[in-house]
Structure 1
Amino acid sequence: MSRFCRIIVIFSLVAVLLGFPHTAIADPLETFIPAASTATTQVSEADFFKRGTYKVMAGDYQGAIADLTSAIQLNPKNADAYTNQGLARAGIGDRHGAIADFTSAIQLNPSLSLAYYNRGFVRSQLQDYQGAIEDLSRAIELNPEDADSYHCRCLVHYTLGDKQKVIEDFQKAAALYLKQEKPEEYEALVNGIKQLRSPTDLAVY
């Protein structure tokens, strides 16, 4: 899965990049989350959501989809579960399924900026650039400090050849990454632009 997609973390709506090694995840997950219902233990919606979310982060996308689907069956209004399930679907290459999940999350929670960001990113992968810009712009409206949305929108504008908007989003993303003390993301932004542009464009950025 791309490092740009982001996940809703357990117990909060804080987003993190999915670029860390799979070995960073505690193993096995079943040591603290029930693996199945028993006579005395029934897996709750929260258990399925937690386990499914950890499986997304660990790269077990099929397992994540199974658990998050169970969470949604227990609570069809769980927008966070739809968001993370969308990431799992994106992880297995089911981009249209991912968009459907992100759309469900947005319908349930129109203020969920992360769902707009992720849907915009996946739309850019499907070359729906105008749809991507609309979603990323909405994510920024909901969360003006979201450097990743500026970063992703910058790349979409580059694809469309809108140099002025590339510059504007690049500068905004760079400033936010520095403000938020995210040197790795800042470096990725700068290096990405260097790889995309031609030598004659160097003076523009």
Structure 2
Amino acid sequence: MVVLRSFVVAVSTVLLLGAAEPSAPARSAFERGEAAMSAGRVDEAATAYREALAATPGYAAALNGLGSVLFRQGQVSEAIARFREATQADPQLKMAFFNLGYAARKAGDAATAAQAYERYTQLEPNDTDGYYGLGESYRQLGQKDKAVPAYQEYVAREKRPGEQIWVRKAREHLTAMGAAPLPATTTVPTSVAAAPAQPEALPSAAESPAVFPESRPASAGGVADAERTQNPALAAARIRDGHALMKERRYREAAFAFLDATHADAGHVEALFKLGNAMAVLGYYGQAVEKWERAATLTEDAAIRQSAQDNVARARTKMSQAGASPQAAGQLPGSGPVADTTRAQARRAYEQGVQRIGSRDYGGALTSLTQAIQLEPMLAVAYTARGSANIGLRRYAEAASDYQYAMELEPGSASPLYGLAESYRALGRNAEARGLYERYASSSATDVRSQLQEESRQKAAKLR
């Protein structure tokens, strides 16, 4: 159910011996649940997963899916129970152990978290996120003798450039526990998934559904470090959306879906590669080249790197044949400059989204605001408003991603600070939420509101 940064898990694979073999109706209901979850229709997903469990009791993947829904809805203890049942139903279901560890750690049950992460690292020893969670769990238990090797394993294995701040954090914990410092390692990013060789080729479907990512406390710093948290689950969901749109030949919309994926996880090789594919189909060869070149630098997979290089060569040939155009200049669809009529449509969609938020129609607001972003990709207030819609839907990780990107577009704006603080508080990341509330309370930005400043001071005080 969760796509991590370094690998893809297909929950629809054949269940191992001992797990409940789903019936055809159960599998059909489960697939409906997956589709609804990917689209953010959480209540619909819950109904579908429960139908799958009614048809095949003990269906591990459906238990895991239902647990993910409950977690998103804030029912953490119930989510933990479903994840535990999933691990009992299928002791080989990696993501159930990962989700159990994550949810238990967020609930303050470090003992359960440690046991789950131990099993997860046995099942998936190449995923670094498990070692970080294991180290955090043992540190919270005060078991330094077990926390130290877990952190050391994480530091030794973690090569992704976007994760190096957590390597530094792990080193800080090791130093605080009196462990010998490990030598710094060269950053060599890992591969995610293979992609097609032709710029015009359609990308293969990402089979694994996304639920929620592993999240960690951020260190002090600017937006790029402190507030820019990677969300591989959201990235995977948007990749699937983009793939479906590509199949329907809705290339422009697909490009924005893949662009959303790169906002959610800046180092996601598959997202970058497929964004390049969509850009190439639209004739934005310069932009496609940029994405493929970045994907090539982030992967250790020789086949992916060669595919990216081949695509770059073909695109450069196309560029040499193209005349002066936004595509030839490498601009994103809908950018630089946006036509007045398109800008007006974007503003109408934005205003409609804000109105729907006011009437608590958060699903409708999400649709309107996504349309506004597609029409005007640099409209920072639309990302801020979409973050609010996501909070209304209790999609806190997605909300955080929107607020983070709004801050990148308009660093001097205060509204995303408050929204991001709310998101982090809902995710249990209280230290970061407190810092953001304090920043909002002391902000002199033009969009700051005195009432929210006072609320921010009160909320920051409660989180001390």
Q: TM-score range by the shorter chain?
A: 0.5 to 0.7
Which of 119, 131, 145 is matched with 1:138 structurally? 119
Which of 81, 84, 107 is matched with 1:103 structurally? 84
Q: Which amino acid aligns with 1:125?
A: K
* Whole-angstrom CA distance in 2 between matches of 1:175 and 1:125: 25
Residue identity (%): 24
Larger Rg: 1 or 2?
Answer: 2
Greater relative CO (CA pairs within 8 A, separation 6+): 1
User: Once the two structures are superposed, what CA deviation does each residue of 1:58-91 show, in whole Å capped at 9, x if it has no partner?
Assistant: 3332221111111111111311111111111111
Which of 63, 68, 92 is matched with 1:82 structurally? 63
Displacement of 1:145 in angstroms is 2.3
Cα 1:9–1:93 change in 2 (3 A) is farther
Cα 1:142–1:121 change in 2 (3 A) is same
* Whole-angstrom CA distance in 1 between matches of 2:12 and 2:171: 38
Aligned to 1:76, the other structure's residue is in SS state coil
- Structure 1: give runs of 5+ residues left out of the alignment: 14-42
Aligned to 1:44, the other structure's residue is in SS state helix
* Equivalences for residues 110-121 of structure 1 within 5 A: 110-121=91-102
Answer yes or no: is the 8 Å Cα contact 1:157–1:166 preserved in 2.
yes
Displacement of 1:119 in angstroms is 1.0
2:394 is matched with which residue?
A: none
Answer yes or no: is the 8 Å Cα contact 1:89–1:98 preserved in 2.
yes
2:109 is matched with which residue?
A: 128
1:169 is matched with which residue?
A: 150
Aligned to 1:77, the other structure's residue is in SS state coil
Cα 1:204–1:198 change in 2 (3 A) is closer
Answer yes or no: is the 8 Å Cα contact 2:136–2:147 preserved in 1.
yes
* Whole-angstrom CA distance in 1 between matches of 2:120 and 2:11: 21
Answer yes or no: is the 8 Å Cα contact 1:10–1:53 preserved in 2.
no
1:187 is matched with which residue?
A: 164
User: Once the two structures are superposed, what CA deviation does each residue of 1:122-148 show, in whole Å capped at 9, x if it has no partner?
Assistant: 111111111211111122223322322
Displacement of 1:120 in angstroms is 1.6
Q: Which amino acid aligns with 1:135?
A: A
Answer yes or no: is the 8 Å Cα contact 1:10–1:50 preserved in 2.
no
Answer yes or no: is the 8 Å Cα contact 2:84–2:100 preserved in 1.
yes
1:64 is matched with which residue?
A: 45
- Structure 2: give runs of 5+ residues left out of the alignment: 15-23, 183-464
Which of 132, 155, 166 is matched with 2:136 structurally? 155
* Equivalences for residues 6-17 of structure 1 within 5 A: 9=10, 11-12=12-13
User: Once the two structures are superposed, what CA deviation does each residue of 1:183-203 show, in whole Å capped at 9, x if it has no partner?
Assistant: 43x33633654898999x8x8
Aligned to 2:57, the other structure's residue is in SS state coil
Structure 1 window deviating more from structure 2 (60-69 vs 161-170): it is 161-170
Taking structure 1 as the reference length, the TM-score comes to 0.66
Taking structure 2 as the reference length, the TM-score comes to 0.32
* Whole-angstrom CA distance in 1 between matches of 2:81 and 2:31: 21
Answer yes or no: is the 8 Å Cα contact 2:87–2:97 preserved in 1.
yes
Cα 1:93–1:191 change in 2 (3 A) is farther
> How many aligned residue pairs are there?
170
1:47 aligns with 2:24: no
* Whole-angstrom CA distance in 2 between matches of 1:79 and 1:85: 10
1:18 is matched with which residue?
A: none
